[in-house]
Structure 1
């Protein structure tokens, strides 16, 4: 009887150990749950967001305080959704036009690399003032350049909205946090993708946050250049989205 009990205990501990190891091994993968389409408001109030959990975006480098950042991701038949929550103290944002170099100020960024067979991916940036920068990137041997997508209207256009907590949504305002909500239609990513990913499909991807309140501070899901100035374009270090 004692022998059987010890064997059962050993098997249980082995199962736990394997489970922990699997979780560690899968830290670069994220399961993306499916949702019906919904409207982005910048506040993350859609009940659809309850389908998935927050993902932490640890600080990659900081010149000031370590600000907490987290994100949620969902996908539908027509596109992929992102929700960011950024703890903050001040809105370091002055650009009031789309297409500007938003990365020079407070921003969240999404990188989507659906087809690892080609060195091309989407870079999307959203400022707390709700301005965007959309680029299709070609990255060959570490040398990269970006172009704005053509026919960026209608169903090919990204939907986005932002909100601010604890202050006003204006440049240099004192706040407690800000949120960004994004919908990227699959039609914008053609011909890299030809529609919604089938269950089990995998994309390489990463997402980041930059803050400039007290110097250059970055947070990311997957670290690209640990202990070095961040290079968000090291796409071989991106994580993997697994579509449920």
Structure 2
């Protein structure tokens, strides 16, 4: 039954980009009954472990679209062993099962130094931080927590048959603010996405949309952020 649920999830997704794509094309979200419809979203999967040594056991299907105000992401997370004890904003969600997205608004030819970190737990708890990272590594990082209620992010998550699913609507204005409100004409939005997960009877996995070749794992490598092309 679980295998059938996974197959149905895969078949239900309209577009799957199986590998990292720099300059990923995303499109305006469609609506249905006043709510976001994901029929026009770009969906990526095949998250790899951070060391770039293969695919994660429990995969992530991340669908992305946008409107005039928000970048919208839906994460469908295959998970046979959901673990997350947290229930308050900005707790250490990264110590348990979590979906993470890092976003920057910066010059197309530069490595981001300032960016936004957003994490979502399987039970709908949020973590938001503005990050300063001058070394393109997990060394010398400074972060400034953002109150979840003041962030403007719309979010929800919960268990589903094959694991858990979550949605994030992140204001473009928040991404720009975390990035230092750059004013250059060559600026683009950049991102990377991550999962932390413990498969049943397995070892903890740290997986990425764009594997950053780190071991031990480090998600804070903005040179591996990929650009978004808003169409």
Is 1:37–1:76's contact at 8 Å kept on the other side of the alignment?
A: no
Aligned-partner SS, 2:38: helix
State TM-score, norm by structure 2: 0.75
Equivalent pairs counted in the alignment come to: 200
C-alpha distance after superposition, 1:51-82 (max 9, x if no partner): 024211423159xx711211011111011000
Q: Give SS of 2:196's match.
A: strand
Q: For 1:94-243, what aligned pairs fall within 5 Å after superposition? A: 94-116=85-107, 119-141=113-135, 142=137, 143-149=140-146, 153=150, 156-166=151-161, 176-191=162-177, 192=179, 202-213=188-199, 214-225=202-213, 228-243=215-230
Give ranges in structure 1 of 5+ residues lacking alignment: 1-22, 41-45, 167-175
CA gap of 1:57–1:157, structure 2 versus 1, over 3 A, is: farther
Whether the aligned pair in 2 keeps the contact of 1:57 and 1:219 (CA below 8 Å) is no
Task: Point out where structure 2 has 5 or more consecutive residues left out of the alignment.
Answer: 1-16
Per-residue deviation, 1:37: 7.2
Larger radius of gyration: 1
Question: Does structure 1 conserve the Cα–Cα contact (< 8 Å) formed by 2:23 and 2:228?
Answer: yes
Is the deviation greater in 127-136 or in 23-32? 23-32
What secondary structure is seen at the aligned counterpart in 1 of 2:217? coil
TM-score under structure 1 length normalisation: 0.71
Runs of 4+ in 1 over 6 A off after TM superposition: 23-26, 37-40
Q: Which has the higher strand share?
A: 2
Distance in 2 of aligned mates of 1:39 and 1:130: 23
Structure showing the higher helix proportion among its residues: 1
